[in-house]
Amino acid sequence: MEVRMKIFRKTATAAILIILALFLITCVPEPPPETGGGGDAITWLDWNYEDNPDGSGKLTLMLDGSTPFAYNSQQSRALSEGMARMVHDFFEVVFVNDAGTGEVRRTSWEIGYPAGIGGLTRSKDYGNVAVGSANGSVVFVGRKQSMTLLGIGYLVQVNTGEDAWLPDNGTNTNTTEITPNAISITYAVHPLVTHVGFSGGDGGATLHTDRQTFLTAVERPLSANTGTSLIGALATKTSGKNITLPGDVVYPLFDLPPAPVPIAPATTANRTIEATYTIGLTAASTGPDDCFPPWPSTSLFDAALIGTGGLEIARRYAAYQIQGKTYDASKSLDTHTTVVATNNASGTFNSVITMTFTQNEKSAGILAITFQCPVYAITNAASTVGGGSDPIAVAAEAAKKWYIRPAFNQYQYLLDSGEDAGGMVMLGNVSEGTATNWLEIFTTGIGFSN
């Protein structure tokens, strides 16, 4: 019987399927009813999340302690396609006020719990997102179990309760200053996105044109790649194609050239190959109510401060999964080609990840790679006041360590087709893979230093 794998368009953190939708709101939040009625599983919260058609979203936080947003805990557990694709469940909001005070205000919370931000210094413009800004704010959205970062948001609107939401006029004028009478604020949240692989227009050898995530410096014909250093990862150089594996599944295989040949009197030979992996963000959207202003002047990735250890790249078996079974894409495993990251060791995260592969005369077969990079939202400093979603908490909240990955949980260790929830890129110098059944117990972080 023919088996086909169901695929989805990828719209979050490389291979992560995420529809940023929890509740629908208008630009002006509605107040809760006077009475709540018992037994209806409704919880009133001080935050709300709204999705946009392009996959981005808006997060609204109340600053005055009110709880105007309804959360139905029973409904949120219902089994549905929409819920199955909503994998984000954790938020962290951070404010910094370094202009003479060094204040940090941060809070984190799970879906279904209040945010609870307090002690915020007013009359400051928190529209900046970059690490080291005099005043700034950012929201990280992701998966609590693995702390995988799925989206980054920036402050776009402030509501004083005296007027309706003021639409941005394109200049961001006076829209991100949190005034003394502000009661709520809104963030524009954009998911992390990628698109690994090739299109099928010419037999599956042309890179996707809408988003080119993984690039190499390997040109065709492969026999031409005889130098000791292949530099300049470009779309015009990147070679490979889609291959069909057992189960009638299709995955991209990026070419590696044949193993280098030692030249006398040398007894060994090495070849280095440059490659890049680019993580993008969904484009800002605008609606008929003009409730979604333009991007900030700096990259949203400038809000991601790299943690100790920096970015790591791990080699793996080229595994994929279909109908609950896990397969190895090839019996010929390349254990000799190595790969190292060449940026993102410290500072702020660079969304264009650079790396170098090194081959020797024994390099042959297929390998797969995946990566992770620890990051903090704007700063790794703890809040300078107590806070958090726990109302009895008195200690200052510590910074959360997030990870930028191509996928979350066990999906990080499955091949990425450019459409599904995998997180590994497959490379090799063979044209086809031969699959064999194999079983592995996946452990979060396996292959990395943590």
Please check whether residue 289 is in contact with residue 343, taking contact to mean a CB–CB distance below 8 angstroms. Answer: no
- Residue whose entry in the numeric block shows the structure tokens 């202003």: 293
- pLDDT, one tens digit per residue, over 293-350 is 556 767 899 999 999 999 999 999 888 888 778 888 777 889 999 999 999 999 999 9
Cα distances (angstroms) measured from residue 96 to each of 133, 211, 298, 384, 387: 8, 33, 16, 10, 15
pLDDT level of residue 391 (50, 70, 90 thresholds): very low
Using alpha carbons, select from 281, 280, 427 the residue that is nearest to residue 356.
Answer: 427
pLDDT level of residue 173 (50, 70, 90 thresholds): very low
pLDDT of 266 reads: 72
- Stated as kind and residue range, the H or E segment containing 210 is none
Average pLDDT over residues 83-90: 54
In b/e form, how buried is each residue of 225-236, taking b as 16+ CB within 10 angstroms? beeeebeebeee
Average pLDDT over residues 396-420: 87
Q: Which amino acid is at 386?
A: G
Who contacts 224 (Cβ-Cβ below 8 Å, separation ≥6)?
A: none
What's the pTM? 0.79
